[in-house]
Amino acid sequence: AGSGKFFVGGNWKCNGTKDSISKLVSDLNSAKLEADVDVVVAPPFVYLDQVKNSLTDRIEISAQNSWIGKGGAFTGEISVEQLKDTGCNWVILGHSERRHVIGEDDQFIGKKAAYALSQGLKVIACIGELLQEREAGKTFDVCFQQMKAFADAVPSWDDVVVAYEPVWAIGTGKVATPQQAQEVHIAVRDWLKKNVSAEVASKTRIIYGGSVNGSNCSELAKQEDIDGFLVGGASLKVYFYCWA
Ligand code: PEP
């Protein structure tokens, strides 16, 4: 792990019911979490209020997406203002499922990040390459291009955590090796140093996501530039957070 406070984010994606979420929240409330770790969970929008009203304040709450600007006539969208109103203080932006299933592009995501930050929401900014991009030797190009779209839009990196999530590792059970992850994390940090500032490069937490679980997380966490995890599947079970 790097120098920043270790960060564990649980992305519940489009999973859960009132009952299963109530069980997970009560497990989280009684879990023994490490003191020096930021823990954030991202429930589906419809359960944000339920989670906010029942979860310990020790754990922060994130949304999984937000609208690009102020709310209004945007059917089906959820605004940053509404998220703040429910007690969310984070939002995940640029998740691969939004990029590749829903079709959000780099600029759109960058603008969303800028708007969320401008309203005081912290951002988990996701980047990562597809399998064919990795195989074509384009991993760094893709990640740097996604980083540039964030950098072009955001005025400050103070409230941003970068999540490197190789798309081939998300939900596939095929976790990146600690070396594969570290290689990209250090490259992204170096990109921040060259393109933003040395201070931002050293302060910004770069977390890894993609099939992280209780058995593979310790080796990953030992890597110099891995400052935490964004976890999907394993985040629906409480034991993962306890490791952290
Ligand atoms: C994610 O969705 O951010 C993720 C990393 O999923 P999983 O842990 O299931 O691969």
pLDDT digits (tens, 9 = 90+) for 184-229: 999 999 999 999 999 999 999 999 999 999 999 999 999 999 999 9
- Bridge partners of 123, per DSSP, are 91, 160
Any idea what DSSP says for residue 121?
Answer: -
Predicted complex ipTM: 0.97
Q: What is the arithmetic mean of pLDDT over 94-99?
A: 98
How many whole angstroms from 109 Cα to the centroid of ligand 1? 19
Q: What is the DSSP string of 46-106?
A: GGHHHHHHHS-TTSEEEES---SSS-SS-TT---HHHHHHHT--EEEES-HIIIIII---H
d(CA 192, CA 147) in angstroms, rounded, equals 8
Q: Which band of pLDDT confidence, cut at 50, 70 and 90, is reported for residue 149?
A: very high
Q: What is the arithmetic mean of pLDDT over 152-160?
A: 97
Residue 239 has pLDDT above 90, yes or no: no
Provide the whole-model pTM.
0.97
Residue 244 has pLDDT above 70, yes or no: no
Alpha-helix residue ranges (DSSP H) falling in the chain: 18-30, 48-54, 80-86, 96, 106-118, 131-135, 139-153, 178-195, 198-203, 217-221, 239-243
Percent of the chain with pLDDT over 90: 95
Burial status of residue 18 (CB atoms within 10 A of its CB: 0-12, 13-18, 19 or more): exposed
- Our answer to whether residue 133 is catalytic in this structure is no
**Per-residue pLDDT tens over the stretch 212-222:** 999 999 999 99
- Bridge partners of 197, per DSSP, are none
How many whole angstroms from 72 Cα to the centroid of ligand 1? 31
C-beta of residue 156 within 8 angstroms of C-beta of residue 115:
no
Q: What is the pLDDT of residue 241?
A: 84
- Our answer to whether residue 185 is catalytic in this structure is no
Residues having CB within 6 Å of any atom of ligand 1: 11, 13, 165, 170-171, 209-212, 230-234
C-beta of residue 116 within 8 angstroms of C-beta of residue 78:
no
Which residue's CA is the closest to the ligand 1 atom numbered 6? Answer: 232
Q: What is the pLDDT of residue 115?
A: 98
Reduce the secondary structure of 52-68 to three states and give it as a string: HHHCCCCCEEEECCCCC
Q: Give me the catalytic one of 97, 133, 165, 185.
A: 165
Mutation test residue for ligand 1: of 7, 8, 11, the one with most atoms within 8 Å of CB: 11
d(CA 53, CA 211) in angstroms, rounded, equals 29
Please report, in angstroms and rounded to a whole number, the separation of the first and last CA atoms in the chain.
12
Q: What is the arithmetic mean of pLDDT over 90-114?
A: 98
How many whole angstroms from 191 Cα to the centroid of ligand 1? 24
**Per-residue pLDDT tens over the stretch 45-77:** 999 999 999 999 999 999 999 999 999 999 999
d(CA 187, CA 162) in angstroms, rounded, equals 13
Q: What is the pLDDT of residue 173?
A: 94
Q: What is the pLDDT of residue 2?
A: 66
